């Protein structure tokens, strides 16, 4: 059997195709789950995977509690109406709106909730969005949960960036358990500060509908010589405010490029490559959770490594979030170093993308992400109307795809890969 020449494989990571795939995905919109944009993107990806790999992916149906966004507004004193964005899965307010006072908790970390505990019941709490790609981030869903636990009537999260950029994201509400939640711009938040520390009264109106829905994960299995697999993952869905270009059209385009580069040689490699394009990642990682929970013990044991590509452009600096697996960290740093590619690693398990669902089942898994601990990078625009194509430089995307292809190839080719 012909040996695999690594240089030839990596040469197939073609910058031109990468960029045209990225543009095509962005042109289909933000891919919010349950919208036509999501369906069109999935169809496009299935077609491109089949073209690039010579085999069509299988669609795995995932039933979930769907949610449709309606109008959302915020009315302040004097009847002035300001723009806000319902967070994903926010319950609707009563038709007349939710009228309550706002209590501004600043950033909204645990200590802020503690300090203002007496002022929270029955009020709408206001907290700040923060840079998500960092070790010390307090996730929006934690802030939301604290607000609920302390008896808040509603939840507002304000952008930390100037420029009329409201933020979106998941609320963490579940059917029957949630309070109305919306994102606002930094400028809007300024209208919510009462004079002399008073709590201004506002009326929050959110229309939304929930009901059973179905989406699909796309799985393409490219067998190798043995039973082992390397899973290359990226999430399809995004948000409605923009193109979700960095998060995660970048990961999808890179995954297509890696799949196309490795497909012709997979059967000659030690283990196969499985491309897994998940949906409803923005729904608390629901698509990948459904997939991992559906795997039997032998199937899980056969997965030697998961490479999750999520937000891999917007900065040229890439970090592997290695989910507590020391062996994974060593493997990726050695592999990148030997190839002369820059890569950093961050070891604690982070529940911020689909790799988490594999890692909690003991499957070695990492997320490749750009801009980690780099709050001034373009990744700061993720979840805002500014997550658009112009925030990505072609060389960033090429660098990410080349690194991902190098890691995937080495993982597929290495005879003994004991990363557990």
Contacts with Zn ion, residue ranges (CB under 5 A): 247-248, 310
SS3 346: strand
CB of 172 or CB of 180, closer to Zn ion: 172
Output phi, psi for 397, to 5 deg: -65, -40
SS3 259: helix
Nearest to 288 by CA among 362, 218, 346: 218
CB of 248 or CB of 378, closer to Zn ion: 248
Alpha-carbon span 89 to 239, nearest angstrom: 12
For the CB of residue 246, give the shortest distance to Zn ion in the complex, in Å.
9
Q: Which helix (H) or strand (E) holds 352?
A: none
CB of 310 or CB of 374, closer to Zn ion: 310
For the CB of residue 368, give the shortest distance to Zn ion in the complex, in Å.
11
Output phi, psi for 306, to 5 deg: -115, 125
For the CB of residue 171, give the shortest distance to Zn ion in the complex, in Å.
16
CA atoms 400, 371, 162, 135: torsion sign: positive
For the CB of residue 234, give the shortest distance to Zn ion in the complex, in Å.
9
For the CB of residue 315, give the shortest distance to Zn ion in the complex, in Å.
15
If you search the block for the tokens 């430089």, which residue do you land on? 393
Note whether 162 and 188 are within 8 A (CB).
Answer: no
For the CB of residue 402, give the shortest distance to Zn ion in the complex, in Å.
21
CB of 189 or CB of 370, closer to Zn ion: 370
CB of 216 or CB of 310, closer to Zn ion: 310
CB of 248 or CB of 322, closer to Zn ion: 248
Alpha-carbon span 283 to 320, nearest angstrom: 23
CB of 248 or CB of 377, closer to Zn ion: 248
For the CB of residue 161, give the shortest distance to Zn ion in the complex, in Å.
18
Alpha-carbon span 269 to 293, nearest angstrom: 27
CA dihedral 159, 141, 139, 250 (to 10 degrees): -80
Note whether 192 and 104 are within 8 A (CB).
Answer: yes
């Amino acid at each position: 059997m012909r040996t695999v020449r690594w240089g030839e494989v990596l040469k197939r990571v073609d910058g031109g195709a990468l960029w045209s795939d990225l543009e095509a995905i962005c042109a289909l919109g933000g891919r919010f789950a349950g919208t036509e944009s999501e369906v069109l993107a999935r169809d496009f990806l299935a077609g491109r995977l089949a073209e690039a790999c010579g085999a069509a992916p299988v669609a795995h149906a995932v039933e979930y509690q769907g949610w449709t966004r309606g109008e959302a507004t915020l009315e302040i004193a004097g009847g002035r109406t300001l723009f806000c964005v319902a967070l994903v899965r926010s319950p609707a307010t009563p038709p007349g709106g939710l009228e309550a006072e706002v209590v501004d908790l600043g950033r909204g970390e645990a200590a802020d909730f503690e300090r203002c505990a007496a002022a929270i019941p029955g009020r709408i709490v206001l907290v700040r969005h923060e840079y998500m790609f960092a070790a010390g981030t307090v996730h929006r869903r934690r802030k939301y949960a604290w607000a609920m636990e302390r008896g808040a009537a509603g939840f507002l999260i304000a952008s930390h960036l100037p420029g009329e950029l409201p933020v979106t994201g998941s609320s963490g509400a579940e059917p029957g358990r949630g309070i109305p939640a919306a994102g606002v711009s930094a400028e809007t938040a300024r209208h919510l500060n009462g004079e002399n520390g008073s709590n201004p009264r506002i009326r929050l109106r959110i229309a939304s509908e929930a009901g059973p829905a179905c989406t699909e994960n796309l799985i393409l299995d490219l067998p190798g010589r043995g039973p082992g697999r390397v899973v290359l993952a990226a999430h399809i869905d995004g948000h409605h405010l923009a193109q979700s270009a960095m998060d995660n059209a970048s990961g999808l385009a890179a995954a297509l490029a890696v799949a196309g580069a490795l497909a012709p040689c997979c059967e000659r490699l030690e283990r196969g490559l499985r491309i897994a394009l998940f949906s409803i990642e923005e729904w608390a990682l629901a698509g990948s959770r459904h997939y991992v929970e559906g795997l039997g013990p032998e199937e899980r044991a056969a997965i030697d490594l998961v490479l999750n590509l999520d937000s891999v452009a917007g900065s040229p600096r890439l970090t592997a979030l290695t989910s507590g697996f020391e062996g994974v960290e060593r493997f990726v740093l050695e592999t990148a170093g030997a190839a002369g590619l820059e890569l950093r690693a961050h070891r604690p398990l982070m529940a911020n993308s689909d790799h988490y669902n594999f890692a909690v089942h003991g499957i070695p898994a990492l997320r490749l992400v750009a801009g980690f601990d780099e709050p001034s990078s373009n990744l700061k625009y993720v979840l805002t109307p500014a997550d658009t194509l112009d925030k990505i430089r072609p060389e960033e995307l090429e660098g990410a795809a080349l690194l991902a292809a190098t890691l995937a190839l080495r993982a597929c080719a290495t005879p003994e890969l004991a990363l557990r």
